[in-house]
Structure 1
Amino acid sequence: MEAVNDAPYLRNRPESFVEAADVILKLDSGDTLAAHSTLLSFHSDVFSDMLSLNKPGDSRFHVLPLSDCSLDDALSFLKCIYTRCEADRFCVEGAEAVAALANKFGMDGISKDLDKFLAGKVAPDGSSSAFWGADIDKAVHWLSEAGKNNLIHLAAKAERFLVQAGARLSDSPEAVHIPPSSLLRMLDSRHAAIVGLLETAKKCADTCLRSQIHGSYNASCTLPTAAQDALAEIKALKPVYSSVQST
């Protein structure tokens, strides 16, 4: 069985390093990719266990299955393992597959780095042209994927977007896959926002009422300063979502 030794993640590497590959990753498609047991074991206890159970016999290669994975997904995954430069390590395209594979093989370090990278593509208010734009279904999809693959910061950004968009989650086909913990946080956040709005509006109304009692005015008159301040506060109301933190 011959592995692909000219794969992108092995290019521009010393020949001795490439030749030292001692693992063949076999995909369902029959494609094979070369890898190094030391790197796989360093990043993943799961791979380490698989290697210890897989004896190469007469060959120096361990042959390990990489199932439920396309060649492109496998290449993106191995790029994350082999690339040191953070700027070149991740990209939005293929991130979903990388997240799933990193979670599958218990690669917590890669998952955390990927989560940080992806969450950085989303604004503090949850808006993101790179992921969902104004598309509720896409945001629900990414929230579901983030929940399944321990991307906690990306999940928080998606939660914030959906809460602030006032999304009807029942209209989205993938809403059933949103983790219960995310649903509870969003419900709590929406409740906190409504309570905050009501409390602020009540305070402003009380201020306006007191101003009206102590200084009568008609529509053509200038409002008392306290009333103007209260009305300005009402106009500037912005919900505070306490449970979905900006990251």
Structure 2
Amino acid sequence: MAYTHRIEAVAEALEAQHANRDRFEPLSGALALDTLDEAYAAQRVLIQRWSAGARGPIAGYKIALTSKAVQDLVGVDHPCAGAIFASSVHDSPATVKRADFVRLGLEFELCLRLGSALPGRPQPYTAESVRDAVDAAVPAFELIEDRASDYSKLDANSLVADNCWCGGIVLGQATGDWRDLDLASNPVRLEYTSGGKTETETAVTGAALGDPLNALAWVANVLGGQGRPLEAGMWVMTGSTLKTRFAEVGDRAHYTVEGLGSVEVSVV
């Protein structure tokens, strides 16, 4: 199968699988992808197809596979990126329907909004060089749609082609200034209620890649190299500070970034 036709066929197949709510399976046979470049090419075509339909324009990007353990599981040594659609951006406190997902995962993050574009450049961006481009930072949830994947069979190329499983985001309101915080070590707290029992977990904002600004620089470098630069006004999710929670009806989550604010979601 010719390269362009295969990339188009992968995107068409993934779009149909989502529409049919099929269980996620690694791409195989004629649809198997050999490299991450091919996977990102298929992702771009899938995003174009979705953007032309009900999902609408892109509101930003997410970073996936920030944990070394997960990277080792799928056979890569770096994160991956996917798009966030404007139609899937929710404000806190949000109510999310469990039935809208094959399987709903929640991740707990800091989300950065760009005040100026990061168009890519000959020298790679760093945490320091992207700092002034950020005009807002808020606590956030990522809504993961893994379509009940069997993680023991997962491969990075299939995950990337499937837009890194981004099912949307929930944005909190900032009540403090992120510039006053040490983003490498600032405390975060999750209160998660399921089955009438509330559990509490703590971590720091730097749990993903050491600093959320590292994540932003990584995304800007990867996307700039692919010719799809970050634009002013876009949101960038910077990776989960805690393990993914798979949510069911009745679950509630309250996530706080100390000194900045909180975000809430209820699953119905």
Normalising by structure 1, report the TM-score: 0.27
TM-score where L is the length of structure 2: 0.25
Q: Give the structure with the higher percent helix.
A: 1
Identify, as 1 or 2, the structure richer in strand: 2
